[in-house]
């Protein structure tokens, strides 16, 4: 089997060049849009996703500046309410209280390094902070182990990513502000898994407890059209 070609990453020099191009060309062509955002941001969506460099929330959703409030960390983890006071809890609080977001998306992905560390603790033995952080996802590992499915490594890793999304959605529900907003019908929580290899997005269906294609025939035609127009 041929070895997969490694994707070339951008150098620091290339990054600076692109930043200069943005200032001189992209920004100049959309000045009105960015100047309007100076007055404030009003995103309706908080997206909690992984820090993995292969995940680009705005590219994946075709969102524009001001559309998404994004929280990123290793493994798209949401510590349960009361499990310390970190950046995650502060970001979620701000999104709810200050911005009034109406949707929260927890988005995991295939080939996740955090999930690999969760399944194989020996890989993070020299990284005590990472190991401690992954403890917030241990329930996903336990669920996967209890099911005792005969899966290959890649399938098991993908299943871990799915279980982790569901676990983190449940952790969100431990936040009093989330429960209150949900009770009033002012907040919806969505679970996604992005497949790096195909570009497909899977969406969690609470009724079945399974993940299915986000873009399915069962979705309302108007919703699909809006997504396509973005």
Stretches where the chain sits below pLDDT 70 are: 1-7, 148, 216-230
- Say what the pLDDT of residue 186 is: 97
Catalytic residue among 109, 136, 141, 181: 109
31 part of a folded domain: no
- Say what the pLDDT of residue 218 is: 53
- Say what the pLDDT of residue 3 is: 46
Cα separation, 49 vs 117, in Å, equals: 17
- Say what the pLDDT of residue 229 is: 37
Catalytic residue among 54, 219, 224, 226: 54
19 part of a folded domain: no
4 part of a folded domain: no
60 part of a folded domain: yes
Query: To 10 degrees, the CA torsion angle through 205, 72, 113, 206?
Result: -10
- Say what the pLDDT of residue 86 is: 83
Catalytic residue among 67, 107, 112, 136: 112
178 part of a folded domain: yes
Helices (H), the chain: 12-21, 27-29, 31-37, 57-61, 87-97, 113-119, 128-134, 138-147, 153-172, 176-183, 221-229
Number of domains in the chain: 1
Tell me whether residue 54 is one of the annotated catalytic residues. Answer: yes
187 part of a folded domain: yes
- Say what the pLDDT of residue 114 is: 98
pLDDT of 193-230, one tens digit each? 999 999 999 999 999 999 999 986 555 443 433 333 33
CATH number assigned to the domain comprising residue 129:
3.40.1050.10
Tell me whether residue 102 is one of the annotated catalytic residues. Answer: no
Q: Does the predicted model carry a pTM greater than 0.85?
A: yes
Q: Which domain covers residue 97, as residue numbers?
A: 43-229
Tell me whether residue 52 is one of the annotated catalytic residues. Answer: yes
Catalytic residue among 52, 67, 136, 181: 52
117 part of a folded domain: yes
26 part of a folded domain: no
Contact residues for 5 (Cβ-Cβ < 8 A; gap 6+)? none
- Say what the pLDDT of residue 230 is: 32
Instruction: List phi, psi (to 5°) of 84.
Output: 85, 175
């Amino acid at each position: 089997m041929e070895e997969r070609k490694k994707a070339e990453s951008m150098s620091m020099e290339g990054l600076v060049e692109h930043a200069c191009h943005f200032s001189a060309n992209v920004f100049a062509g959309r000045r009105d849009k960015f100047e309007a955002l100076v007055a404030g941001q009003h995103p309706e969506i908080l997206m909690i996703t992984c820090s993995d460099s292969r995940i680009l929330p705005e590219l994946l959703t075709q969102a524009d500046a001001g559309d998404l409030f994004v929280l990123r960390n290793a493994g798209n983890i949401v510590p349960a309410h009361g499990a310390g006071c970190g950046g995650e809890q502060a970001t979620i609080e701000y999104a709810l209280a200050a911005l009034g977001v109406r949707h929260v998306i927890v988005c995991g992905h295939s080939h996740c390094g955090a999930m690999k560390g969760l399944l194989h603790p020996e890989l993070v033995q020299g990284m005590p902070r990472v190991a401690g952080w992954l403890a917030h996802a241990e329930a996903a590992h336990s669920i996967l182990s209890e099911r005792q499915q005969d899966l290959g490594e890649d399938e098991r890793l993908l299943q871990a990513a799915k279980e982790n999304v569901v676990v983190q959605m449940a952790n969100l529900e431990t936040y009093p502000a989330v429960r209150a907003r949900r009770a009033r019908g002012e907040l919806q929580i969505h679970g996604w898994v992005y497949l790096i290899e195909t570009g497909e997005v899977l969406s969690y269906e609470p009724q079945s407890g399974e993940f299915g294609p986000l873009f399915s025939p069962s979705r309302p035609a108007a919703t699909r059209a809006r997504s396509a127009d973005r």
